[in-house]
Structure 1
Amino acid sequence: MTTITGRQKAALLLMQLGKDRAARVMAQLDVTEMEELTSEILRLDRVDQSLADEVVDEFHAAAEIGPGLGGGLGFAQQLLEASVGKEQAAGMIERLQASMAGHSFDFLQQADARQVVSLLDGEHPQTTALVLAHLRPDHASAILAGLPEDLRADVAHRIALMERASPDVVAVVTEALQRKASAVLAPRELSAVGGVQPLVEIINRADPATEKSILEGLSARDEALADQVRALMFVFGDVVLLEDRAVQLVLRQVETGTLAQALKGSGPDVRDKILRNMSDRARENLVEEIELLGPVRLSQVEEARAAIVQVIRGLEESGQIVVRREGEDELVA
């Protein structure tokens, strides 16, 4: 038999059962299994008859087979509506389409950020925003930092206001960029975005200068939106919002020299929060290091603080600590 996965075989079999019988089978599955099978059905538009026969034989199932098997969006939507109802089916289809659209720009995921900046040169800011919203936040951040300064805030603003992207629009943009990429990027096998949170994740991974530039540009365009973004971001001063255990985990990954630079000019609440979560010896060494530093350039202080914030964000992403933003409810154990 042609090599296909078990999930693909199950999707093929469902497509041959007819809508009603397939719906009864789907109703016995949990939501995750339904979405996985529906995802496969969405990818199967027309299926070779001989392959369908092989699948039927393997499952020892009887089915009426027509001249060709119609899969695709229409069949998937009918099947889900019969299984879980029209409203829930619409939501599942929308999530699956968004997930599949996210793979449209896979050919850019491993490309050097400077190459992607070159590729996007001359594109409309909305196109650039659409692409960045589909990429990994760390990669999108590096690309955003490479854009001309007057363009960064415009693109950031568009990402924040973007709620949904039509799969057809994504397909058109992908096709156009793939053609253009052939002259910029090394050939590769190709295979609901946007909003404030994706923008925050992108800015969170930017260097301090890029972060400042983007936020200032956003403020000039939309002060309320800029305030919303700032409220969701974690900055060095927010260390006072961390639980003591979380602070201790962070300090284990930060060198004393970096910590000393970060604390230069910091408020007493931040300084006290850090010092009281250190051993007596470590506390003495840090205080001595701060005193020996003398005056420090502001850029060095900002760089040290950004490094510590990156450690905090990394621990949050890995689930080792919980970050509470200003104004959020207290955590209850």
Structure 2
Amino acid sequence: MAGQSIVRDNYVALTGPEKASIMFLALGEKRAAPLLERLDEDEIRIVTRAMSGLGNITASVLEDLINRFTEQFAKGGSVVGSYESTERMLKAFLPDDKVGEIMNYIRGPAGRTTWEKLSSVNEHLLAKYLSGEHPQTVAVVLSKLNPDHSAKILPLLPRHITRSAMRRIVKLQSIPQEVVGDVEEVLHKELMLNYALAATTDSMNNWPRFSTAPIPNPLMILSRISSATCRIRRPL
């Protein structure tokens, strides 16, 4: 085949998809298969297209690639340190329009993206936690969630908490903005950066999936909301 006459002896000249395809080939079919299964159809097309045109990869290029991979792995979560590095990583294997969609979502207001994410958490799980929380915390959370999701949660709460929380929701305009900001910041840091990672698949250009940071438990996040709202609790 024509591609087999090509000799790749310059690591710097390789594109992100080419680096990824070399790593897949180096891993072998058995080890690479589980990783390929995590890619969507577009990403598989990009990687396999690059793979089909690789030709011969010199030992020095493969060694450079593995060394770079090892360095990135050793850095852990530092590979995704900014919007810019995340965007560069995405552009290595996603179409520009998809990259723009993801980056716009990440750059959106913390309250919008964060509360939308919480709105996807099972209502029974949220209700179970909120049942043991102060009504002020319940009011803050319910007022920020998608209205339809909040409506599903309310009937699942103890009646006395529902009544108190609804009264407090009416008066939420008196909550200091810095407190709301604290809640948004906590949720943004704990949820949205991990959401960004979850929205992408493995890129052998920067390998962000090797971050050791665990996906946060929603209940742990909500417990931190309590500490952010405790200083505005007062009887109504």
TM-score (normalised: structure 1)? 0.30
Q: Which has the larger radius of gyration?
A: 1
- Report 1 or 2 for greater relative contact order, CA contacts < 8 Å, sequence distance ≥ 6: 2
